[in-house]
Structure 1
Amino acid sequence: MHPGVLEVTERLRERSSATRQAYLRQMDAAAALPRGRRKLSCGNLAHGMAACGPTDKDRLRMMDEVNVAMVTAYNDMLSAHQPYEGFPEQIRTALRAYGATGQVAGGVPAMCDGVTQGEPGMELSLASRDVIAMGTAIALSHNMFDAALCLGVCDKIVPGLLMGALRFGHLPVVFVPAGPMTSGVPNAEKAAVRQRFAEGKATREELLEVESASYHGPGTCTFYGTANTNQILLEAMGLQLPGASFVHPGTPLRDALTVHAAERAAKLAREGQGQLASILDERALINALVLLLATGGSTNLTLHLVAIGQCAGLQLRWEDMSALSEIVPTLARIYPNGTADINQFQAAGGTAYLFAQLLEAGLLHADVETVAGHGLHLYTREPLVEHGELVWREGPAASLDSTTLRGWREPFLADGGLRLIDGGLGRGVIKVSAVAPEHRKVSAPCRIFHTQEALVAAFEAGELERDLVAVVRFQGPAANGMPELHKLTPYLGVLQDRGFKVALVTDGRMSGASGKVPAAIHVCPEAAAGGPLARLRDGDMVSLDGDLGRLDVAVAPSVWLAREPVEHQEPIRRGWGRELFAFMRGAASPAEEGGSSFTRSLHEADGAPGQ
């Protein structure tokens, strides 16, 4: 293996020693109890199976039989989750044929960042991840189950499901994807119309037409945002079947993979193998990080991987990401880091080719446990239905489209394109894989905004026609829930296309689909906590260097220290349900600790201080 990967892994292992051991002790204690419903009283069990049919009741009375929980994020507003409507009955039928039973243990909310982008509901987006984790824990708390299937795909849903499931890590847990929608209008064409609309050169009807032609049917959106990044990382962690991520909904192969996922969960439970706590260790977390970097994946995962790690007693840091980014090459170009969509990526060789290349380069831990069996080499294969049976074959030996997917010897970039940003204005992250080299360094007077709407109004008033560092502060987890600021991308893109040097600096998030404008995001400490961004004033000369990872301000130290931080004038957040989440904002950890309301309680539960 590459010595750099081993070094980062060992640092993570040592740093996490106390919390990881405490977590594993908890899981061992849970595993030592009678499995599933075996400890329940007759009254408890009768409640748990009251609505089942006679055959399922007979099996549930047989304590050696396996009962599999389904935790579903189904709703029919999210295109990616609409296919899940029919999954429970399909899974129950498959499990009955296998001699087991299955029950929907609970449903979790699934909001769509694409619907709430730039809207008040976006302030609940990150908080929804922790709500989903709690919902997953409630679903599994009934102690009726020997294994679990997690039905979720999109942005905060997969991290939330995994965070909750990890607290039941003594169970086998398999993630069941639903697949991407077929390709529609190319993403680059959609982005161009968005910019024209921002300039007033396209009507709302024209914009809606192209958006609807892009997002047009059931399945995951086809750009490489957080949802599709989630899918690749689940395979990297060994929690999803090999090659299952990007098979279209409603196809025979999709159905066969869903059936096999159910059978696999039951088999692992019967054999007492595949417990989530043993699969998701420091090696699996590093494997996920390597895939994030090699594909130019969503910056949201710099939050989620940290939060996921904490739920498993693993103390991942941004420094680990930055160190690996220096040695992991970029092997994929998927929009917004290229022109291809996720279906073109899959056609070019997909995850099977990608895993093979990274294993050959020594950048992945191969000797790991997965839900498919032992060894990450299983993920160099791709599934197909042959003579009515689901089988796996070796993936392609060469990329079928070198403009989309390449081998490790001829990468698109020598590094992963993710940088840790540090300097006088705090710490954050920047993704430069989609930013042209000539745009990665910007030094210009800043213009400060406290809302997205204020920036848009300034753009429409013609006040931003110059070199500019746009600072949008008071957008962190404690301030307003850390909404994505993707609505700003077309406006900043227009300024960049007009020849201005433009950058964004914020303690908030950008969408996993953000691209060509350099953005220093997740800046810590956030302005609401008195971080350096709160001392900035309009006109200060701010410098962002994406290549060197620097974020500085040219203000004399004496002047800087004499300034009082601007206090957070909390915006009115009543209505739209936002007032219900004040307690979560108050408990939220900094972005570099995952922006989670669980951090303190997890450290207390694991019997070790935060590290």
Structure 2
Amino acid sequence: MPKPALNATIARVTERIRSRSESTRSDYLARVHAAAAAGPARAHLTCGNQAHAYAAMGGDKEALVGGRAPNIGIVTAYNDMLSAHQPYETYPQKIKDALREIGATAQVAGGVPAMCDGVTQGQAGMELSLFSRDVIAMAAGVALSHNTFDAAIYLGVCDKIVPGLVMAAASFGHIPAVFLPAGPMTSGLPNDEKAKVRQRFAIGEADRSELMQAEMASYHGPGTCTFYGTANTNQMLMEFMGLHLPGASFVNPNTPLREALTVAGAKRAAAITALGNDFRPVGEVLDERAFVNGLVGLMATGGSTNLVLHLPAMARAAGVQLDLEDFDDISSVVPLMAKVYPNGLADVNHFHAAGGLQFMIRELLGAGLLNPEARTVSGNGLADYTREPMLKDGKLDWRDGPETTENDKILRPCGEAFALTGGLKQLNGNLGRGVIKVSAVAPERHVIEAKARIFHDQVDVKAAFQRGEFTEDTVVVVRFQGPKANGMPELHSLTPILSVLQDRGLKMALVTDGRMSGASGKVPAAIHVSPEAADAGPIARLKDGDLVRLDAVSGAIECLEADFASRQPVTADLSGNAHGIGRELFEAFRRNVGPATTGGAVVV
């Protein structure tokens, strides 16, 4: 059968990104190809260099010194405070054992930090969260700087970890990269039930013991949290961008299939080095087609808004320039095919069982909404990612993925999608640029026009709520929450409060230069507003009582007051964000960070 023609908008956006990135991408590829042409790095190390590198490697020394077999560097984000990363404890030994079977070697090149936003949510430590992405990229760079590796395996799952590791992988684009996931935890207390307890706690109808019981029943074992937040969006992204093995994203930890995929991923990394006949440097994989495919996956699944920050930063590391208009245009033609909490009642295990990413990729390829020729770590482009892994007589194999959904309340084909668009909209107006995700917002709330109430801290919003001060339709403005102000912490703890007010019949909206969690949901929220208040952005000119219009239909975000443009922006005392819980170490980051529209990045 002939291949379907690429959708005109997808083709246009792909070409626009390619054209916009022509200079930076060509410079990047020139560096990648020059590094690759130098050959396996170990051949150029002195004997002293090599002796230091191999001193503790026991029986692997002979293979390492010979330099004829691939040596794979493992970069791990293992710690056992993150449930999603706890399974990685055993991965390095499994990888080494698997590679020895084929005459290759592996070394743990280094570890990178991995913080849990669920632990720091609403706490001072959250102000380090976004910057941890850039630290992870730099730490991985240090790990790989020893220049003794023919490929790299990256062990990371959660919010800032995967983007940081991709940025590092792009920086070492002359060697292949394979990302190995750990999988989601098994299903616990349904997410909607947990959310109801949180809302009841917010209004004093549930005590802390009931809240704690609900939280522990939801987050109960190893693996990623089961809602479709940033961590699971990351896993989807790695599959759509071809950095996972097909079907690897949502297999539960500590299962035979999960272990088989880890072994296969290690062996695949060895197979695609420059020492073999199928060299796939990651710098060539991470082109404009890969990033467009990632954007398509983001829209089709209703993924986390945090990726609107991370994808531009990841792309820039590979010389590719993304803009908010790319997100908007792709969202306009990609249907919302999935309903996973907070955009539905199902969790990622239910989504995977209904057909998951393999069904979705098959559908999107058939509709001409993905670049099929994008290079991947697998053998045959995205076509491989319509196949799902299975164990056959104890051995890993792939079979054709499902052609129909197993549950149309969770997953639907393109032609019967939950919505015609991906639900992510670029916002422009006299308040600046930002984005809004409306896939979980009721249509009657897509346009909100109301008086503004101004806050400089989410804690003050909670206090006003507890005092009963929200009695009319309100646009809650929380500013000085951008990267320069305080590191751009998530404002996820506002969700229960605003949801309660909305459920009481008020029209509520949030406008902020900060960010919401990947679990943000049914309250309309204009986020990542840029320029930020700390950079004298227009949001710093707003006053209490200003009439503000948030229009997710036309993509407008505006103050309707006649004198708005002539006002002077206010300033804020940000000294409280400068110290404690490690914040003093990040002053240089706050001083040098770029705007949210380009990823809020420091290192690229």
Compute the TM-score of the two structures, normalised by the length of structure 2.
Answer: 0.98
Q: How does 1:239-278 map to 2 (within 5 A)?
A: 239-269=243-273, 270-271=275-276, 273-278=279-284
Work out which of the residue numbers 356, 362, 378 in structure 2 matches 1:356: 362
- Counterpart CA distance in 1 for 2:472 and 2:57 is 66
The alpha carbon displacement at 1:368 in A equals 2.1
Q: How does 1:187-198 map to 2 (within 5 A)?
A: 187-198=191-202
The alpha carbon displacement at 1:29 in A equals 1.3
Secondary structure of the residue aligned to 2:321 is coil
The alpha carbon displacement at 1:147 in A equals 0.4
- Counterpart CA distance in 2 for 1:13 and 1:475 is 33
2:488: which partner in 1?
A: 482
1:77: which partner in 2?
A: 81
The alpha carbon displacement at 1:201 in A equals 0.6
1:501: which partner in 2?
A: 507
Per-residue CA deviation, residues 177-203 of structure 1 (Å, 9 max, x unaligned), is 000000000000000110000001100
Work out which of the residue numbers 88, 96, 101 in structure 2 matches 1:97: 101
1:367: which partner in 2?
A: 373
The alpha carbon displacement at 1:36 in A equals 2.6
CA contact (8 A) 1:368 1:374 kept: no
Unaligned 5+ residue runs, structure 2? Answer: 1-5
Q: Displaced runs of 4+ in structure 1, greater than 3 A?
A: none
2:442: which partner in 1?
A: 436
RMSD of the alignment, in Å?
A: 0.8
The answer to whether residue 294 in structure 2 is matched with residue 307 in structure 1 is no
The alpha carbon displacement at 1:373 in A equals 1.0
- Counterpart CA distance in 1 for 2:218 and 2:603 is 37
- Counterpart CA distance in 2 for 1:10 and 1:37 is 38
The answer to whether residue 163 in structure 2 is matched with residue 153 in structure 1 is no
217-226 vs 432-441, greater mean Cα deviation: 432-441
Unaligned 5+ residue runs, structure 1? Answer: 600-611
- Counterpart CA distance in 2 for 1:539 and 1:571 is 27
The answer to whether residue 181 in structure 2 is matched with residue 177 in structure 1 is yes
Q: Give the paired residue count.
A: 596
Q: How does 1:529-568 map to 2 (within 5 A)?
A: 529-556=535-562, 559-568=563-572
Work out which of the residue numbers 374, 380, 384 in structure 2 matches 1:378: 384
- Counterpart CA distance in 1 for 2:374 and 2:422 is 23
- Counterpart CA distance in 1 for 2:460 and 2:197 is 22
The answer to whether residue 114 in structure 2 is matched with residue 110 in structure 1 is yes
2:581: which partner in 1?
A: 576
1:410: which partner in 2?
A: 416
1:467: which partner in 2?
A: 473
- Counterpart CA distance in 1 for 2:307 and 2:74 is 25
The alpha carbon displacement at 1:490 in A equals 0.2
CA contact (8 A) 1:171 1:275 kept: yes
Alignment-mate amino acid for residue 7 of structure 1: R
The answer to whether residue 63 in structure 2 is matched with residue 59 in structure 1 is yes
- Counterpart CA distance in 2 for 1:464 and 1:134 is 44
The answer to whether residue 51 in structure 2 is matched with residue 25 in structure 1 is no
Per-residue CA deviation, residues 73-130 of structure 1 (Å, 9 max, x unaligned), is 0000000000000000111100111110000000000000010000000000000000
2:498: which partner in 1?
A: 492
The answer to whether residue 52 in structure 2 is matched with residue 47 in structure 1 is yes
Per-residue CA deviation, residues 464-510 of structure 1 (Å, 9 max, x unaligned), is 12211000000011111010000100000000000000000000000
Secondary structure of the residue aligned to 2:193 is helix
Secondary structure of the residue aligned to 1:453 is helix
Per-residue CA deviation, residues 392-447 of structure 1 (Å, 9 max, x unaligned), is 00111100000000001111000110000111111100000010111221111111
Work out which of the residue numbers 5, 8, 12 in structure 2 matches 1:7: 12
Secondary structure of the residue aligned to 1:373 is coil
Q: How does 1:420-459 map to 2 (within 5 A)?
A: 420-459=426-465
The alpha carbon displacement at 1:14 in A equals 0.3
Secondary structure of the residue aligned to 1:369 is coil
Secondary structure of the residue aligned to 1:289 is helix
CA contact (8 A) 1:242 1:378 kept: yes
1:210: which partner in 2?
A: 214
The answer to whether residue 237 in structure 2 is matched with residue 220 in structure 1 is no
CA contact (8 A) 1:297 1:512 kept: yes
CA contact (8 A) 1:535 1:560 kept: yes
- Counterpart CA distance in 2 for 1:575 and 1:321 is 36
1:604: which partner in 2?
A: none
- Counterpart CA distance in 1 for 2:15 and 2:307 is 21
The alpha carbon displacement at 1:34 in A equals 3.1
Alignment-mate amino acid for residue 113 of structure 2: P
Secondary structure of the residue aligned to 2:189 is coil
Per-residue CA deviation, residues 359-414 of structure 1 (Å, 9 max, x unaligned), is 00000011122111122110000001110110000111100000000001111000
